[in-house]
Amino acid sequence: MGSVEPPTQQSYPPFPDTGSLKGFKSIPLTPIIGTEFKDVDITEWLRAPNSDDILRDLSLVIAQRGVVFFRNQHKVDDVSQKEFCRRINELSGAPKENGFYKHSLLAMHGADPEMGKVDPDRLKAMYLKPDNGMPRQTHLKEWHTDSSFEPAPPTFTVLRMAVLPETGGDTLWASGYELYDRLSAPYKAFYESLTATHYSEGLHSYAKANPDKMFSGPRGAASNVGLEYKSHHPAVRTHPLTGWKSLFAWGANCLAYDNVTDEESAQLMDKISRLVLDNQDLQVRFHWENTGDLAIWDNRCTFHSATSDHFVVGPRMGWRCMTMGEKPFLDPNSKSRNEATGGWPYKLENPSRH
C-alpha cells in the first residue's frame, strides 16, 4: 500500500527563498492557483549568474501556485526545455538518481524518447471517439495527474506549444491543496486514513497483447519498471517543498480507493468529482495564445485537463517532458495550505502586477 512515512527531512520548505524572482513581473491568475510571469525569456534564466537561485526559487512558486506560465518562449527548443525542467527538479531536492520519463509505448519514442509529442491525431482519436452514436456529454475522465500509476510519479511537467488552432484548445488545472481544504474535518481525517490504487488499464492491456512494443523501464526512476502500471499511494499526500497536504487520489489514472467496497470507493471518487465540478474557483483555465507559450506544473498538487473544442478549427500540437520524483508520502505532522497560511483565499507575498 501507499507509504505514510515522511522522509527524514521534514523542514518545509527544505531551503530558503533567496528573493531572486522579486525583480520579475508576475500575475497570480486566481487567488487559489496559477501564476504568469511577464516579459521573461527562460533561456536567459538558464544562463544567468544566479541561475540556480532563480530556478530553485521558481520551484517554490510552482509548488505553492500549482502551475506557472510563460508566454512567447520562442528561443526555447527541446534541449533548453529539458534543461529547464531537469534543473528545477534537481535543485528542488528530487532524488538525484531520477530523470526524465520515457513513454511506455515504443511507438511514441521519436528521436528523443524523453520528449513527448502532444499529437493532434492521437488526441482526436481519444477525445472524439464515438459513444454508441450519442453525443458526448462529459469530459470528466480527462482530468488527471500525470502517470500517477508509477511507484515514483512525476514531479514537474513542462508543455510548450508548437502548433495552435485559431481558437479553442485551452487547458485547465485544479488545486489538490484546495480540494483537501474544502473537506470538513471528519472527511479530511477519513481521506488521510486511505490509500488508493493508481492504474493504467489501457497500457496494461496493450502490454499484455504486445509486450515487444513496450518499454519496460526504468521510466525515469529505478522503481518505475515492468508492464503492470499499478501502484498504491496515499489518498492525501504531503508536498515536500511546501509541507501542505494535497488530495492526490482522483483522476483518470486513479482506479479505486483501497480496503473499501466498490460502492464506497465510487462514492469517495464522486465526492472529489463534485468538488472539482462545483467549485470553479479552485481551477484556472489557460488560453494558449501563441506558439512558444509554455507551462510548468507540479503533479503533486494539481490535476489538469485539456479541452477538446478545437478539432473542427485546426490542429494543436506541443512538446512535453516530465521529471520523476519521490514516492508519495503523508506526513501526519504536516498542515493544510489554509492552516499554514492563515486561511482562504491564499495570498501571495508582494505579488507584482506592473
Confidence band (pLDDT; 50, 70, 90) for 2? very low
Query: What is the per-residue pLDDT for 354?
Result: 36
**23 compared with 137, residue with greater pLDDT:** 23
Average pLDDT over residues 227-249: 98
CA-based nearest residue to 287, from 29, 5, 19, 17: 29
pLDDT tens digits along 250-300: 999 999 999 999 999 999 999 999 999 999 999 999 999 999 999 999 999
pLDDT score recorded for residue 126: 53
DSSP annotation of 6 reads P
Q: What cell does 11 get?
A: 523542514
Confidence of residue 135 (pLDDT cuts 50, 70, 90): confident
Give the highest mean pLDDT range of 108-122, 300-314, 323-337: 323-337
> Per residue in 167-197, pLDDT tens?
999 999 999 999 999 999 999 999 999 999 9
328 and 3 in contact (C-beta within 8 Å)?
Answer: yes
Cβ atoms within 10 Å of 351's Cβ, excluding its own: 11
User: Bigger pLDDT: 237 or 119?
Assistant: 237
Mean per-residue pLDDT over the chain, rounded: 91
Q: What is the pLDDT of residue 137?
A: 77
Q: What is the pLDDT of residue 280?
A: 96
User: For residue 6, is pLDDT > 90?
Assistant: no
Do 87 and 56 form a contact (C-beta atoms < 8 A)?
Answer: no
Residue 136 pLDDT class (50, 70, 90 cuts) = confident
Going from the N-terminus, what domains does the chain have, and what CATH number goes with each? 25-128+139-341 (3.60.130.10)
Q: How large is the average pLDDT for residues 53-66?
A: 98
Residue length, the chain?
A: 354
Q: What gap in Å lies between CA 309 and CA 287, rounded to an integer?
A: 12
Interatomic CA distance for residues 68 and 70, integer angstroms: 7
- Whose cell is 510571469? That residue is 37
Instruction: State the Cα–Cα distance between residues 287 and 172, nearest whole angstrom.
Output: 9
Statement: residue 348 has pLDDT above 90? no
Let me know: does 316 contact 156? Beta carbons within 8 Å.
no
Least confident of 24-33, 228-237, 306-315, 334-343: 306-315
Side chain identity at residue 21, one-letter code: L
pTM for this predicted structure? 0.93
pLDDT value at residue 315: 87
pLDDT confidence tier of residue 141, bands split at 50, 70 and 90? confident
